[in-house]
A and B are shown apart, each in its own frame.
Chain A
Amino acid sequence: MATAASVPAPRGIIRRPTATTGWLSWFTTIDHKKIGLLYGFSAFAFFIIGGLEALLIRAQLAKPDNTLLNADQYNQIFTMHGLTMIFLFVMPMSAAFFNYMIPLMIGARDVAFPRLNAFSYWVFLLGGLFLYSSWFLGGAPNGGWFGYPPNSTTDPTIGMTFYALGLIITGLASSAGAINLAVTVVNMRAPGMTLFRMPVFVWMGLVVQFLLVFALPIITVALFEMLFDRRWGTHFFDPTAGGRPLLWQNLFWLFAHPEVYILILPAFGIISEILPVFSRKPLFGYQFVVFSGIAIGFIGFGVWAHHMFAVGLGPVANTAFGITTAIIAVPTGIKIFNWMGTMYGGDIHFDTPMLMAVGAVAMFVIGGLSGVTHAVVPSDYQQTDTYYVVAHFHYVLFGGAVFGLFGGVFYWWPKIFARQLDERWGKVQFWIMLIGFNLTFGPMHILGLGGMIRREYTYPASLGLTFWNQVSTVGAYLIALSTLVFVVNAVKTQRTAKGLANEDPWDARTLEWTTSCPPPVYNFEEIPVVHSIDEFWHRKYAEDKEGRLIRVPAGASDHAAADGHGGAIHLPTPSFWPLIAAVGLPTIAYGVLYSWWLVGAGALVTVIGFMGWAMEPPVAE
């Protein structure tokens, strides 16, 4: 693909799109920045939908014996809430930042395979829409995001078939994206950008892509087995024929525990970028932060059975996985201490990105500590399937990942949109979100230890759970309010704010800030040559004889691409084929549900898409 430069011009059925502006260009774009934006907007839309589902859950639980939702609706809503937030929000939102920032941070003009990048995005979006179409076609998935059989395989509604197919499709998108981004980081770095000069965000991105590459095929197999059981009556998880539901649990968690790190490491990367900038100090212990991230990636594959302590694996297995779980807390703790070391003695500026990053660290620590209590097997027996677990994973995934991602949004907004989000509204959002978050999930620790079971759609007043549930519901609506504040802030900023006075508003440290805001389509007029970690910082500042920072005279540090010619740089041409190939996949999935003819049609579309793609040169003549 990448070397097909000298082939003749296409005798196309479809005329090659060339426009890089206008609404149509969004469907054919292969620019990593535009694709990053598409990922970001789509993921945020799913965040709103998943949030509305959460509000329904909290509304239902606001009082005992509530009848707002019945058990069946409740099952569908909490399942879709989990699936949405994990697969359609945090993963693609991380992909948005990786897509937009990794090429800029390593000094590349694009990702390694621009068309594959577009394909990944469209497959993700269509997979998400496929999953959501289940609401209108007989009911959404209702067996939890973990989909344990035999409940999930014997359920008579169509929902869990949508679950299996939808997650196979979005998994394919993530696999393709992961291979693309991993190759980009390994192979597309600017001269001098050695692995240990890469920003930590890029490092965490690399670890995440490897986790995806190795974890996704496992869940893909499990999902195919579930699909076969549900659709064609096989016996993978059918105990009456000798099948073992426990196989699903092992395969699922062997994927889903690395998945936890797939969700959190991007936020760790963002935090590791924000803290040094706003503490005006280099990251404390760069190598430790990088290696602990790698260690988390490896150990993350060896802890999965701690999700299964209560199923009766036996004392040896439980002890072994208890120990590995305690061990994985060590590299995570190293990161926390490095972040604190970064801030220690720093000249700290509490702008919104910094507030979000510090909030993420603090909230993640709380979630991490309750996680350690899960590593203790006898203690975990008491907590399994209670709200204590719900509290734990929301502290790590909302507290860690969502705060971290919002930090990234505020930090990189000027880079992407050449406007700065309003700081006052940003701080208002942060504090409402922090308070709302703790009101929502803090009480769940108490509820869980008080005996409230996960996933039950209502509870009797006699259990005494009412008060803390009400607190939790109030908190959830505060989170919704904080999100509303963000939306208003974003819209207002885009409507009214003027362009940036300073294209480096945070006095940042890494290469993406050497470009203009927003970066030109080719990113760098001249590919930068890198000499150190925090390259941009060292271009701006030097030390005098007493070790004090002095500003390098302007000009020596000027933006490489400020006067923007770049007409001589030939970028890959937009293409329809990734979208066409992607459309075939949900068509196949609908076919599996309804008709073999549709399967054939979808397969044909996909094959034609790939053929057209293969025949088409990356750069139109």
Chain B
Amino acid sequence: MADTTAHAAPVEHTSTGLPSTKLAMWLFLASECLLFGALITTYVLYRGASTTGPYPSEIFDIRYTSVSSFVLLASSLTMVLSLTAAEKRDFARMRLWLVATALLGMTFVGGQVYEFTSFYHEGLSLTTNLFGTTFYVLTGFHGVHVTVGILMLLSLVGMSWAGRLPDDQAFPVEMVGLYWHFVDIVWIVIFTVVYLIPQAKPAG
């Protein structure tokens, strides 16, 4: 018995057979669903409730945001490619795809910063009206999540490059990937609810 416990065994023996880290990540993401659920609910509740402009229809550039949404969704593809490479133990290619994912994420966040800046110049600030309040806080929360994801991706690249990841490099890549895909999926919901579902200006 002592022999089997002499080292923190690389293969965990768990009650469910699943790695604890994976379970924890799923629980964390379940919790995050409620976080974004509450934020999106707030946005939906206040749709059309602004008492002054600018209103969404006057300010959104659907084409621009569609492109940046596409960039974010494409990053899910590069994330999967990275995981596939890691599973084949092709770690150089894994790092390459991780960097590509991070770059796509940065493009998205950069696009969001540009979008926020141009909306601000068009007269929509955090405090202008309820639309500004709910829009910036919801999409800002998402942007922070993407930024945290980018930090995790770059850390993975750095640690893999420095040889400080465990032997099974695919596992941490899979975990960060779970988070990254989640953030992408949330964006699909936010993009649909905030940008695509048309919203009339309140009458009067």
Contact = CB atoms under 8 A, between A and B. Distances in A.
A220 B6 CA distance: 42
Nearest to A3: B166
A405 interface: no
B13 to A, nearest CB: 9
A542 to B, nearest CB: 26
B8 interface: yes
Interface string B6-20: 111110101110111
Nearest to B156: A614
A189 B171 CA distance: 23
Contacts of A222: 38
Nearest to A244: B45
Contacts of A112: 20, 24
A5 B21 contact: no
Interface stretch (A175-183, A450-458, A462-470): A175-183
Contacts of A8: 163-164
Contacts of B24: 112-113, 179-180, 183
Interface in B150-194: 151, 155, 159, 163-168, 171
Interface stretch (A210-218, A276-284, A411-419, A590-598): A210-218
Nearest to B141: A224
Contacts, number: 150
A232 B28 CA distance: 29
A234 B126 contact: yes
A251 B42 CA distance: 10
A241 interface: yes
B14 A213 contact: no
Contacts of B163: 7-8
Given A8-B164, A187-B15, A188-B20, A568 B6 contact: yes
A225 interface: yes
Among B38, B39, B46, max chain A CB count under 10 A is at B38
Interface residues of B, number: 54
B27 A182 contact: yes
B118 interface: no
Contacts of A615: 159, 164
B30 A3 contact: no
Interface in B21-71: 21, 23-24, 27-28, 30-32, 34-35, 37-39, 42, 45-46, 49-51
Contacts of A526: 1
B165 to A, nearest CB: 7
Interface string A203-241: 000000000011111101110110010001111100001
A221 B38 contact: yes
A569 B8 CA distance: 9
A179 B31 contact: yes
Interface string B113-129: 00000000000001101
B196 interface: no
B10 A6 contact: yes
A242 B23 contact: no
Contact of B126 (A2, A232, A241): A232
Nearest to B163: A8
B137 A228 contact: yes
Nearest to B14: A187
Contacts of B130: 235-236, 241-243
A6 B151 CA distance: 24
Contacts of A1: 21
Contacts of B8: 5, 570, 572, 618-619
A562 interface: no
Contact of A3 (B21, B27, B50, B141): B21
A92 to B, nearest CB: 19
14 contacts: A3-B166, A4-B165, A4-B166, A6-B167, A112-B24, A213-B30, A214-B31, A221-B38, A228-B133, A234-B137, A236-B133, A241-B51, A570-B6, A619-B8
Interface of B: 1-3, 5-10, 12, 14-16, 18-21, 23-24, 27-28, 30-32, 34-35, 37-39, 42, 45-46, 49-51, 126-127, 129-130, 132-134, 137, 141, 151, 155, 159, 163-168, 171
Interface of A: 1-8, 112-113, 175, 179-180, 182-183, 186-189, 193, 213-218, 220-222, 224-225, 228, 232-236, 241-244, 247, 251, 526-527, 568-570, 572, 607, 611, 614-615, 618-619
